[in-house]
Chain A
Amino acid sequence: MRSWPKRLPTCSLALTSNEPRYAKLPDIMKAKKKPLDVKTPTDYGVEVASKVTLLKVQSPAERKGGIKVASVDELIDKLKNEAKVL
């Protein structure tokens, strides 16, 4: 966990902090009457084209399930003598 003060304006991303705010129906109706300006990125001189191209998508290597061992002793034996990680 890190804390630091930040000069505004700032933009942040939170994972699990706030309750979502659900708009009420009357507010949705009211919002519909508000003027809505549609802007494109070019209005602000911003180019949004990405220079990254997706060439291919493939499945990752599947991991095969192994075996069930019956006891702690068997587990330790397998890790020592078969997998050789102990």
Chain B
Amino acid sequence: MSILVLADLHEGQLAGATAHVVAAAQAIGGDIDVLVAGEGVQAAADAAAKLDGVRKVRVADNAVYAHQLAEPMAARLVELAGDYTHVLASASTPGKNVLPRLAAMKDVSQLSDVIGVESADTFLRPIYAGNAIATVKSDDALTVITVRTTAFDAVGQGGSAAVEAVAFAADNSQSSFVKEELAQSDRPELGGAKVVISGGRGMGNGENFKLLDGIADKLGAAIGASRAAVDAGFVPNDMQVGQTGKIVAPELYIAVGISGAIQHLAGMKDSKVIVAINKDDEAPIFQVADYGLVGDLFEILPELESKL
């Protein structure tokens, strides 16, 4: 078995997700290489080389891979894939963008959102928004997998893998990058944060989301939102937690003014401890919350912030 892991980058640095994907690769077993593709990514490559279990890091450092557009990335991967039995990436926006294209080009079926490894060809993955877990077996010559990072504990950083450059090959006449609009924030990444506090429609408007800021500062938390809050324009899309947003599993998840729709639960029910603050004591969120506090968030949030 030989496995290629596509590294996740966050502003040019190695994102925490990669250590979880390497853990999934270890569960499969075999030689594990990491591909770091981007522009100015030497530091990210060095960080990847420290991950336990990595045999070598392959670096494709070229402007064509900046922003990890699917077209050049998949073209690069297709060429490397011949050396491997498996290609893995996290089920994050870049992974979900690039790997399906690789799978199509190799004419194989991708396995998405893998949460468990039974053997080198048999995997567990959620279906029906996490309401059932399927065990699937792949007989494709190349197994292309996106990994749900919350399901695998990150590997350590005691490694010292070799780092080698792979020559530039991808042509990209197909697409180019115009702009990316992300919510600017000094807070931790939503997907990797130890604490997440999310607001829902109950927050009333975008301005009120500021009530979460002070608490998030004190807890070192990332701020998330329900789809209703996003659709109402309170906060940007990339803050959405749930089936069609980000999947999170922090140590502590605090849901504020969120009713607990199944599509929201799909994104956070694997959190270790869940707290719900809601004025409706029948809200379904209380069925999954370890600690529920019934009351008006506009009174509870300032009190919580001052007492933390």
List A residues at the B interface (Cβ < 8 Å).
1-7, 15-16, 50-60, 63, 65-69, 71-73, 75-76, 78-79, 83, 85-86
Contact = CB atoms under 8 A, between A and B. Distances in A.
A1 B178 contact: no
Contact of A72 (B127, B290, B303): B303
B138 A57 contact: no
Given A66-B290, A69-B292, A85-B251, 8 more contacts: A1-B236, A52-B139, A53-B137, A56-B135, A58-B135, A65-B288, A72-B303, A75-B304
Residue among A4, A15, A68, A79 having the largest count of chain B Cβ atoms under 10 Å: A4
B132 A60 contact: yes
Contacts of B174: 6-7
A2 B69 CA distance: 10
A75 B175 contact: no
17 contacts: A1-B182, A2-B181, A16-B231, A51-B108, A52-B109, A52-B137, A57-B127, A57-B133, A58-B132, A60-B131, A65-B287, A68-B293, A69-B291, A72-B307, A73-B307, A85-B252, A86-B308
Interface residues of B, number: 57
A76 B179 contact: no
Given A65-B288, A75-B293, A79-B275, A52 B176 contact: no
Contacts of A2: 177-181
Interface in B119-165: 122, 126-127, 130-140
B109 A50 contact: yes
Given A6-B175, A68-B286, A51 B291 contact: no
Contacts of B56: none
A83 B272 CA distance: 9
